[in-house]
Amino acid sequence: EKDKSTTSKGSTAEGASKRQEGTAGTPKQKLLDIIGNMKVEVSYRKKLQELKGSENKNRLEGLDSEDAQRTAEGIQRGKPLNPELVKAASAVASSLPLNKKQTESELLAQLRRHEETTDKQKKGETIDIRNVISEMTVKKQSPAQRGVRISSRISLELDDDGQTIRPERFSSQSFDSRRSLKVGKRLNIFTKASTEPEHALKTVSSPTIWDLEFAKELAAITAQPPRNGFEEMIQWTKEGILWEFPIDNEVGMDDGAEFHEHIFLDKHLEGFPKDGPIRHFMELVICGLSKNPYLSVKQKIEHIEWFEKYFEEKKEFLQEI
Amino acid sequence: PCPGQVRSYYVDWRMLRDVKRRRMAYEYADERLRINAIRKNSILPKELQEVADKEIAALPRDSCPTRIRNRCVLTSRPRGVRRRWRLSRIVFRHFADHAQVSGVQRAMW
């Protein structure tokens, strides 16, 4: 079969080259001769493909030479087929060993269907399709996906001849879901809700009391009692009764201050005298504060500043000593 | 309309005073901490420490955390209070027997 298929392909290639060289009339006859001379093939599919290929080539030639006339002819055709194609179909049918009339009728039916679809395409708007295709972007397939698809294709090819089980259509489903996964607004369930820039700019500078009251009234009216436990929990979370999950241990604590601001507090010691027991004392204070994980940087700075004030007030007293 | 008990007032005046002390202790906590840091170290001169002593004594009396008494939250009982539940032993027993304290069971071994 493989040899026959290669020879047929070779013959069609030769025919195509000859056709391109010759005029419109003779190549079709040559095609018919070729089809008649070709060896008998068992695969029905390849015959159809070749037929359709020849059809398309004929059609292309026709379009190139006389577009409007051909299209008009095509529209007029409708149900009656091109007599040349009919001749080709009959030649093919004669070459096949099976029941000639049946094969001929089947081929003609296929041709009719093909023509209908092509006519529809011609009548339709081809320009829009081109626009659509140009707009479509190439999707990057991951190699794993590609491998799955190739394997699925290969196994599908076997299916018709052999009896292999069809693979589950995971790839298409995942593909569809993958398209819809990253589209849309994020819910921020597992990541910290980053404060997105508010789209609606608030032009009102100071909301009046009446506005506030109105807003409160609206909220009170529209707030329906929770229908189920989930809504109740949502309400609690909004109020602050229930924590947000996954639990964040640093709620309300994390200033955004880096570790070096917590530990290296020497810069705040500039107001103190460099020698003496006070400096010694303050260094101990700083050492203790740097080791304290529970205070924020602001609180630590406040501690140090309080000591500064205190020792300044007591300066006179200290100088007496 | 509410299912549980509705409490608009504190149980008794002692509870109220305890609440006031707690609030004040929270206010003055930082200051007390700093002044005590000056007092309780051996580096600074003793005169400074004596001055600090006088200062801390001058603070309001209720700002001292030692004056807080962990009373029972429901009955204001000063004694027999379990810290974890903030309840007196009688109230705790009452609720535990009615299975309203989570994870508490009658002991048997």
Q: Per residue in A70-85, is it b (16+ CB within 10 Å) or e — as a string?
A: beeebeeeeeeebebb
How far off is chain B from A310, nearest CA to CA, in Å? Answer: 10
What confidence score (pLDDT) does residue A184 get?
78
Judged by a CB distance cut-off of 8 A, whether residue B41 touches chain A is: yes
Confidence band for A283, pLDDT divided at 50, 70 and 90: very high
Residue A190: partners with Cβ closer than 8 Å, 6 or more residues away: A246
Q: Does residue A61 fall inside a structural domain?
A: no
Residues in chain B: 109
Q: Does residue A28 fall inside a structural domain?
A: no
Whether residue A139 has pLDDT greater than 50? yes
Whether residue A136 has pLDDT greater than 70? no
Q: Which domains does chain B have, with CATH numbers?
A: 12-69 (1.10.287.1480), 71-108 (no CATH)
What confidence score (pLDDT) does residue A51 get?
67
- Could you read off the pLDDT of A40-92 as tens digits, one per residue? 554 556 666 666 666 555 555 544 444 444 444 444 444 556 677 777 777 77
Q: Does residue A283 fall inside a structural domain?
A: yes
Secondary structure element (H or E) that encloses residue B94, with its range: helix B89-97
What integer best gives the mean pLDDT of chain A? Answer: 71
The percentage of residues in chain A with a pLDDT greater than 70, rounded to a whole number, is 54
The whole domain housing A108 covers: 83-125
Residue A272 and residue A102: Cα distance in Å, rounded?
A: 110
Task: Provide, as residue numbers in chain A, all residues whose Cβ is less than 8 Å from the Cβ of B28.
Answer: none
Among the listed residues A33, A43, A40, the one whose alpha carbon sits nearest the alpha carbon of residue A97: A40
β-bridge partners, A254:
none
Q: What is the mean pLDDT of residues B66-92?
A: 96
Residue A286 and residue A257: Cα distance in Å, rounded?
A: 17
Residue A171 and residue A153: Cα distance in Å, rounded?
A: 11
> Which of A281, A306, A307 lies closest to B41 in CB terms?
A281
Q: Does residue A69 fall inside a structural domain?
A: no
Q: Does residue A176 fall inside a structural domain?
A: no
Q: Does residue A297 fall inside a structural domain?
A: yes
- Could you read off the pLDDT of A210-261 as tens digits, one per residue? 999 999 999 999 888 999 999 999 999 999 899 988 888 888 777 788 888 8
Per-residue tokens: A39: 């060896």
Confidence band for A281, pLDDT divided at 50, 70 and 90: very high
- Of A40-49, A54-63, A181-190, B67-76, least confident by mean pLDDT is A54-63
Q: Does residue A292 fall inside a structural domain?
A: yes
Q: Does residue A197 fall inside a structural domain?
A: no
Confidence band for B55, pLDDT divided at 50, 70 and 90: very high
What confidence score (pLDDT) does residue B73 get?
95
What confidence score (pLDDT) does residue A40 get?
53
Whether residue B11 has pLDDT greater than 80? yes
Global pTM exceeds 0.80: no
Residue B75 and residue B10: Cα distance in Å, rounded?
A: 9
Residue A266 and residue A290: Cα distance in Å, rounded?
A: 10
In chain A, which ranges are continuous DSSP H helix? 2-21, 25-37, 44-65, 67-77, 83-95, 100-123, 126-135, 143-161, 170-181, 209-222, 229-239, 259-263, 277-290, 297-313, 315-320
Among the listed residues A289, A317, A318, A319, the one whose alpha carbon sits nearest the alpha carbon of residue A304: A289
What confidence score (pLDDT) does residue A201 get?
54
> Which of B31, B41, B47 lies closest to A321 in CB terms?
B47
Best of A295, A310, A311, A313 to substitute, by most chain B Cβ atoms within 10 angstroms, is: A310
Domain count, chain A: 2
Residue A306 and residue B55: Cα distance in Å, rounded?
A: 15
Per-residue tokens: A104: 């001929």
Cβ A317–B43 below 8 Å, yes or no?
Answer: no
Among the listed residues A130, A121, A132, A129, the one whose alpha carbon sits nearest the alpha carbon of residue A63: A121
Q: ∠ CA A39-A41-A44 to the nearest 5 degrees?
A: 140
Residue B63's alpha-carbon distances to B16, B22, B50, in angstroms, are: 15, 8, 20
Q: Which residue has the higher pLDDT, A121 or A63?
A: A121
Cβ A303–B45 below 8 Å, yes or no?
Answer: no
- Could you read off the pLDDT of B18-27 as tens digits, one per residue? 999 999 999 9
